[in-house]
Structure 1
Amino acid sequence: MANHYRELLTTPGATGLVLASAIARLPQAMIGIGIITMLVEQTGVYWLAGAVAGTFTLANALIGPYISKLVDQRGQSRVLPVVTTFSIGMLLALISAVYMRAPAALLFVLAALAGTMPSMPSMIRARWTQLFRGKPQLHTAFSLDTVLTELAYIIGPPLAIGLSVSFFAEAGPLVAVALLAVGVTAFLLQRQTEPQVVVGHARHTGSTLRIPGVPTIVLALLAMGAIGGSIDVAVVAFANAQDWPASATFILAAYAFGSLVAGLTFGALRVSLPIEKQFFIGILVTAITGVLPMFSPDVYVLSAMLFIAGISFAPTMVVVMKLGTIIIPPSRITEGLTWMTTGISIGVALGGMLAGLIIDACGARAGFGVSIFAGLVMVSVVLIGLRTLSAVSTRSVESAYP
């Protein structure tokens, strides 16, 4: 395992990219939950907290691909400073508005404008693709990237919550904003790894969603996000039903830890199976293991079941990102990767919402039924689109290596 990661990190510019990206990706994991905690601490109104945070998340998911398209056309160093500065200004305005008890309508407007925050995971993956497109090191790079993302979501939310609860309500979002400024600055200073605009192909007018195979990937990731979102809500409800609310923390940590361990291990392997078949196998295993939590009698068994379920998550994400770099042209890679992230984000929101409705109506355990249904949808989508994915990926590889 060590040899592949050592080979990756000795590539010029790779170590700096890893360190800068570790900071730059943290705000994405902190701001949503930070807004919720801040508003709950200030107002005690949960629906408002969830709605404002949801507005930010939805706006970020929908605006992100268009910002990334602009990045593909003009370059990271020209676009990111502008949109990040604007997003930081809107986030600071939102924090100030909450502090001054401004009308709820203003909070929603500012949250939507703050959603212009760039999709840093997509910017980071675009750089890894620039460094290693078509090389085996890209597999290891995406594995490491997925592990760092898991770590960000393990560290970020508790940090945001802890700051707001321990110091003052606005502390979590303020630290997230500071990390966004520092992280993006450090990221942009890594000029050696910045993707170059592809001259003559940068100004495409159509959406990357029209590229054959991309809709299949985005819809599959939407269903995959719904699995994660529904499990998050169902775990909290299950822990409450077991009269041990605090156990939700280590149950969800087991889910993330399973994904993290699998991601690191998968990055050390070299798989010869065609990429579209790897994708289908990953999707199938994710759907099958998503059934396991339904049969958990207590929090300990649920932790074990979710650890197992998490094992397929990171490797599947690695494979789908690699597949994306094969079928999406270099001139549109950032936009394409961002649409994938958007699919996951919308899926998480939908999964959490549906699970909440079903739990209210049928009880805590029924919430896991959403993840089972999402798994069936995910497998169906990939089965329908598998022939297209195979044809497009084969054609793309042949055109790259005639």
Structure 2
Amino acid sequence: MLVPLESSAMPSTRTARHLDVLALPRVPLTFSAALVGRAAYALVLLPLLYAVTEATGSIALAATAVAVYGATASLLAPGRAWLIDRHGARPVLAVLIVSFGAGVAGIAAASLLGAPGTLLIVLAGLAGACAPPLGPTMRVAWGRLTPDDEMLRTGLSFDAVIEELLYLAGPALAGLALAIVAPGAALFVPAVLVVVGGLAFVATPTVGEMSVRGVAPHRRGRGGSLLRDRRFVGLLLPAVVAGGVSGTIGIAVPVVLADRGGPAAVGIALGVFAGGSALGGLLFGAMRVPGSPARQLVVLAAALMGVTSLVAVVGGAVGVSVVLAVAGLFFSPIMIVAYVAAHAAGGEHRQNSATTWVNTGHNLGGSVGSAGAGVLIQAAGAPTTLVVVAGVVGVLLAVSLVLASARPAAEDASA
């Protein structure tokens, strides 16, 4: 059953702080191990692009390799999560971690040996297909590491902030590495990180408990797909919206600032958006927000789109940066609430699937937002595009509220 965030909490944790959550038993070990493994994802894309380019002399083949890697990593994520829910986290994650590390190392070695583009693209696709869901599994682990909803929300907010910082620092660190070593050699770094951190995460008692608790009960009562649950789809749509807005920003801002500062201004504007998102996650995790997850998600997503739309009317790089900094404040909170809601929606036996669908929905929204924004901007310009996107978002959020508020059907009672 989906429950409001304000469900009963111990008085001592009603104002749970991030330091309080980090002080909980087993949190430092579990989270730090997962963090080392997750760092690999922030470091792999740039070296992959340059490694394939250097090996083949073709930026087109390199872009294809990156796209294939991203596609298999994202589209097959629900399947990998289902395997974890079906067979337990520890055995499935261990296989995926070793396979992914071997796949990335294989790309590194093949690129250094000058392998053909076709082979490198195939290897990239295979690596993406094995990408271990360390982030979603860690978010499930937060539910076992925290004693109540308030602590869970604070833990997830801290998780979201650190992930934002990882993806801010990762490309910069990868760029520095590429100035020192060959791209193929640089790829060995994420390969080692995911194996060392990932296997350390798998070895923690928390993941062991997930494996023990997750297998037998699931076999006794298998639920249908979460996408058949209207309430879950309703909660998923704001995550799709957040991804769509992010994807739209990535295309629209370079166009808006093309004659107002160029690439440097674009980099700053997108950077402050990410910074605002990190700050928003920290602030949201320290607050007690009334209302059900469904209402919180709709309000936050509407605010994100509403503020972002101001990019169409403000002038200059400073104005765009200020707007995006404010808009970013709403981005991480959307994902935090979506993950908290996924814990409830997934029940005891489908939490990995639920949190992974939040990730997948966000990524899908980002891809559609980027592609749609490109087409619309080419046809009608950035301001019109933002207005159209705002209209689509309004419709999706209305549908979200209706679906998330629906009474569970009789056939969903066991979900």
**Normalization by structure 1: what TM-score?**
0.88
Distance verdict in 2 for CA 1:171–1:290, change over 3 Å: farther
1:151 to 165, 168, 173: 165
Q: 1:189 aligns with which of 185, 194, 203?
A: 203
Q: Equivalent residue of 2:396, what SS? A: helix
- Which of 78, 103, 122 is the matching residue for 2:116? 103
Correspondence 1:389 to 2:370? no
CA deviations 1:14-46 (Å, max 9, x no partner) are 122232232222222232333223334554533
Partner residue of 1:112? Answer: 125
The answer for the alignment partner of 1:212 in structure 2 is 230
In structure 2, C-alpha distance between the alignment counterparts of 1:219 and 1:50, rounded to whole Å:
29
How many aligned positions are there? 395
Bigger mean CA deviation after superposition, 220-229 or 66-75: 220-229
Q: Determine whether 1:319 maps to 2:337.
A: yes
Letter in 1 for 2:199: T
Paired letter, 1:78: P
Q: What is the alpha-carbon root mean square deviation over aligned residues?
A: 2.8
Q: CA deviation at 1:187?
A: 1.4
Report the CA distance between 1:243 and its aligned residue.
Answer: 5.0
Q: Where does the alignment leave 5 or more consecutive residues of structure 2 unmatched?
A: 1-13
1:85 paired to 2:107 = no
Q: Secondary structure at the match of 1:206?
A: coil
Instruction: Select between 6-15 and 78-87 the one with higher mean Cα deviation.
Output: 6-15
Q: 1:181 to 1:235 in 2, by over 3 A?
A: farther
Aligned equivalent of 1:340? 358
How big is the shift at 1:341? 0.6
Match of 1:35 in 2: 48
Rounded Cα–Cα distance in structure 2 between residues aligned with 1:159 and 1:321: 28
Q: Structure 1, residues 161-186: CA drift from partner, whole Å, max 9, x if none?
A: 33224422224432222221122022
Give the distance between the partners of 2:377 and 2:109, measured in 1 at CA.
35
What is the TM-score of this pair, normalised by structure 2?
0.86
Aligned partner (choices 42, 58, 63) of residue 45 of structure 1: 58
Aligned residue in 1 for 2:8:
none
Map Cα deviations across residues 183-231 of structure 1 (whole Å, 9 max, x no partner).
Answer: 2022123223542316333463732222232233334323321211221
Distance 1:198 1:257, change over 3 A: same
1:99-158 CA-to-partner distances (Å, cap 9, x unmatched) read 333333222221111111112210110101223475211110111111011111111122
- d(CA) in 2 for partners of 1:37 and 1:125? 32
For 1:259-300, what per-residue CA distance to the aligned partner results, in whole angstroms no more than 9, with x for missing partners? 111110111111222221111111111110120222232222
Match of 1:354 in 2: 372
Contact 1:34–1:157 (Cα < 8 Å) also in 2: no
| 1:44-63 matches, cutoff 5 A | 45-63=58-76
Please show how residues 113-152 of structure 1 align to structure 2 within 5 Å: 113-115=126-128, 116-132=130-146, 135-152=149-166
The residue aligned with 1:23 is: 36
